[in-house]
Structure 1
Amino acid sequence: MAQLSSQPSPRWIGVALAFYAFIAIGIAEGGLGVLLPSILQEYSLTTASVTLLFVSQITGYIFAAFTSSLISSRLGLARMLLMAAGTLTLALAIYATSPVWGLMVAAGTLLGLGIGLIDAGVNTYIVQDERGASLIGTLHGFYGVGALSGPAIATTLLAMGMTWRQVYVVLTGVVGLLIVALLAVLVIRYPPMHLRGVATSEGASAAQNLGRSLRHPAVLLTGLLLLVYVGTEAAIGNWAYTVQSVGRSMSPMAAGYGVAAYWLGLTVGRFGLDYCLRRVGAVRMISLSLTLLLIGLFAWWQLPDQWLSLPMIGLALAAIFPATIWLVPRRLPAELVPGGISFATSAASFGAAIIPTLVWTNWHHNNAQQDAIKNLLNRS
């Protein structure tokens, strides 16, 4: 990556900031699944209306998909990440204080925008730097740390007697530390994060590069794969607690820590990914992961009382996203990488909003059919 000065910059500053940014978005996303039943009760929601919280995030993700590379090119990475961190923190603060459901739904757009910009910006920063490309698995491992911490923190604080709003105050504070770190980066003018984009040899603009990347088949296929993958990851993370506690009558503590075990499996897998990529290769690693994922999903469906399937699913999911992102610079010209990663990661975030909604709608519909059958049998 280009530098603003000829002096070498301390590598650890940007890497540490990237890791904490992924912890922050992991916490923001991971805590919601445990808090959903409390939110349902607070606002007297139906199971259909609660899905609006996921749908509202879609507009933010779509905006991030088509603008993150342009914003980074115009403002520089550090300023874009600061804007994204402020947007995400504001969304969580609104979640904690919103007096009406409609305002919380509207804040979902801000949450989607903040997460989408951070995801695209940090992934691009890591994979474009040859020194940092080997850290892609560790980077996503720190997302797992956040996603694991979110439900664990939420479950513990609820057990201590806090309300779901107070839990969101705590999560807001944790994510807000990212703003402080980014302000420090701006003050010291850390050169790599003031980079304003990658130019082509023909001098094409960021907008032209974005347009070219969106017409590249590899970008479109990558976006589709990550949409399905992240949607699956989020659906399990968001709804496993409800399925375990409501559908399978597990205790709230057991259900909450079961979700934490799911994220633990994902986290462990990602911290070992860099080694596996060197030994196995990205494509073979993705194929093995998909096989293990099918086994884990089948076990969770057919053996509901055991504890192994959720961490197995998390372990299976661990490699897919970072290995796919790792392949992007190896499949695209350098000037198309920012736009390609921007679109792919934001398509993934779109999946995180739409697929959990579809899963919940289908699960609720099936439960409603079963209740209707039971009522009919009781009457007869």
Structure 2
Amino acid sequence: MATYFIIIIYLAFISLGLPDSLLGAAWPVMQLDYGAPLDMAGWLFMSIAAGTIVSSLASGAVIRRFGTGKVTLVSCLMTACALIGFGMAPSVMWLFVFAIPLGLGGGSVDAALNNYVAAYYKAHHMNWLHCFWGVGATLSPMIMAQFMAGDSSWRQGYLTISGIQFVLVVILLLSLPLWDKVASSTASAIKEGPDSRNVKDLSEDETVKPLHIRGVKLSLAAFLFYCGVEATLGLWGSSFLVNEKSAAPDMAAQAISLYFAGITLGRFIAGFITFKLSNRALIRAGQITALSGTLLLCLPLSSGFSVAAFMLVGLGLAPIYPSMLHETPLRFGKKHSQTIMGYQMAIAYTGSTFIPPLLGYMASSLTIGILPLFILISVAAMVFSSERLNAFFSMKHALDNSEAKSPLL
């Protein structure tokens, strides 16, 4: 039963990735149809992100009341309906209206599924699930391109993606009784494998507010800088190559494709590595790899080396995000993990929404050549936060062990 159920969750992660890259793929044609300015897409993106942040912050209380299965079902229904709205919107203002349920639905289901998998499945599933998110994010522009290349319009592309979402809604509705059964039958999974350890602290005290649990703020900082790095390099990397390395635009576009391919491939490979290494080891290895790629990007070398640096950074980033998510119940206890997971998702979206525009603002005043230094500082901040967090839990684990071995007085 658990095997079939994880397949449903994999499908849900593909569905989660489908809307994320749809607006960017369709906007060049949507802009002409609506007669909208180019930067209107940025405001739409921020409106969706705002809804995602709000729903992520509220996800802990909502899921505790209604359960993961029902929240996932309703969230997917909201995104499916919102995509129909995008496909039928008569004006740009209606796009902003439908951006609200699209963002709210995306944030809730993201936090719900990540916490469920972190609590009841092993680490390799978390890496592979985020790899499948990349599959969804890759498929939707391809589907949209097919419609825009033929006689159909971008509206048909949105309606088709919405139809795929509605198929998932039906599957989730039929599988609704399985959520609690699978959770009960797989509750021991978190205690198996190289991540096994018993974290005992005030996180198990329900009277303590999640943000007051030691280590939570360091974890949030790591998520903020991770998503800032991932989104900033994806958004501005091509401009850096063209303007600073004199690369051809098509080569720069291919470099960004290789960057995201490195993230997707890296997560697929990381899923196998989790059978031998713990989440903590994977996070550290990924950070070292990303730091090495960033240092290579800082060197005054040709564009070919910069492209290689992009892929190296992508490979390094790959296991960090899913591994940090999977660590949440282990670090902070299962009682508060859903609320903390929502905080982490909210701060992650905050990083990917606001840090790339920060670089854009700085580059407009200076030069896009500051990108490598900006990425290097952000990666260093992520490593610092993560290592401080590791040091805290290592010290705490040692103290717990010494107390357990001390003779009773």
Asked whether the two chains share a fold, i.e. TM above 0.5, the reply is: yes
Offset of residue 146 of structure 1? 1.5
Matched with 2:138 is 148
Deviation digits for residues 268-306 of structure 1 (CA, Å, limit 9, x no counterpart) = 110111333433713422322431451575599962898
Please say if residues 290 and 315 of structure 2, whose CA atoms lie closer than 8 Å, have aligned partners that are also in contact: no
The whole-number CA distance in structure 2 between the counterparts of 1:228 and 1:347 is 9
Partner of 2:42: 51
Map residues 1-380 of structure 1 onto 2, 5 A cutoff: 10-129=1-120, 131-160=121-150, 162-186=152-176, 188-192=177-181, 209=206, 212-237=209-234, 250=249, 260-277=257-274, 278-279=276-277, 281-295=281-295, 303=303, 308=308, 310-359=310-359
Cα distance in structure 1, aligned partners of 2:208 and 2:131: 31
Partner amino acid, structure 2, of 1:263: F
Deviates more, 1:158-167 or 1:28-37: 158-167
The whole-number CA distance in structure 1 between the counterparts of 2:88 and 2:299 is: 39
Within 1, Cα distance between the matches of 2:102 and 2:317? 23
1: CA distance, partners of 2:216 / 2:352: 18
Write the distance in 2 (CA, Å) between the matches of 1:88 and 1:194: 25
Amino acid at match of 2:22: G
Cα distance, 1:349–1:266 mapped onto 2, change above 3 Å: same
Higher relative contact order, chain-length normalized (CA < 8 Å, sep 6+): 1
User: Aligned equivalents of 2:364 and 2:253: distance in 1?
Assistant: 20
Per-residue CA deviation, residues 326-345 of structure 1 (Å, 9 max, x unaligned), is 22222212212111111101
The whole-number CA distance in structure 2 between the counterparts of 1:73 and 1:304 is 50
Q: Per the alignment, do residues 75 and 172 of structure 1 end up closer, same or farther by CA in structure 2, a change over 3 Å counting?
A: same
Deviation at 1:46, TM superposition (A): 3.1
Residues of 2 paired with 1:168 and 1:300: CA distance? 43
| CA RMSD after TM alignment | 3.7
Whole-angstrom CA distance in 2 between matches of 1:116 and 1:56: 13
- Confirm or deny: 8 A CA contact 1:84 1:115 kept in the other structure: yes
In structure 2, relative to structure 1, the CA distance for the partners of 1:343 and 1:175 (3 Å cut) is same
For residue 183 of structure 1, report the CA deviation from its aligned partner: 0.8
Contact 1:93 1:172 in 2 (8 A): yes
CA deviation map 1:317-374 (0-9, x unaligned): 211211211222222122121111111012212333333444555667779xxxxxxx
Q: What is the CA distance between 1:156 and its match in structure 2?
A: 4.5
Label 1:326 to 1:176 Cα distance change in 2 as closer, same or farther (>3 A). same
Partners of 1:239 and 1:155 lie apart in 2 by 23
Distance 1:300 1:159, change over 3 A: farther
Change (3 A) 1:50 1:189: closer
Taking structure 1 as reference, are residues 80 and 193 closer, same or farther at Cα in structure 2, changes over 3 Å only? farther
Q: Structure 1: which amino acid aligns with 2:352?
A: A
Q: Which is further off, 15-24 or 102-111?
A: 102-111
Deviations 1:73-105 (A, max 9, x none): 111111100111011112222222211112212
CA distance 1:102–1:77, change in 2 (3 Å): same
Q: CA deviation at 1:258?
A: 6.0
Size of the aligned set, in residue pairs, is 346
Change (3 A) 1:173 1:210: farther
Give the counterpart letter for 1:27 in structure 2.
L
Q: Deviations over 1:209-257 (max 9, x none)?
A: 5962122242222223223322443455567789999997746xx8877
**2:17, 2:137 within 8 Å by CA — same for their partners in 1?**
yes
Give the counterpart letter for 1:145 in structure 2: V
**1:152, distance to aligned residue in structure 2 (A):** 3.5
Quote the Cα distance in structure 2 between the aligned partners of 1:308 and 1:124: 34
Q: Is the 8 A contact 2:68 2:179 kept in 1?
A: no
Task: Provide TM-score, normalisation by structure 1.
Answer: 0.76
Q: What amino acid sits opposite 1:220 in the alignment?
A: K
Task: Return the alpha-carbon distance in structure 2 between the equivalents of residues 23 and 356 of structure 1.
Answer: 25
- Flag the 1:353–1:170 CA change in 2: closer, same or farther, 3 A: farther
Indicate how the Cα distance of structure 1 residues 289 and 118 shifts in structure 2: closer, same or farther if over 3 A, else same: farther
Q: Are the equivalent residues in 2 in contact too, given 1:84–1:113 (CA < 8 A)?
A: yes
Tell me, in whole angstroms, the C-alpha distance in 2 between the residues paired with 1:43 and 1:210. Answer: 52
Further displaced range: 348-357 or 297-306:
297-306
Query: 1:69 is matched by which residue type in structure 2?
Result: G
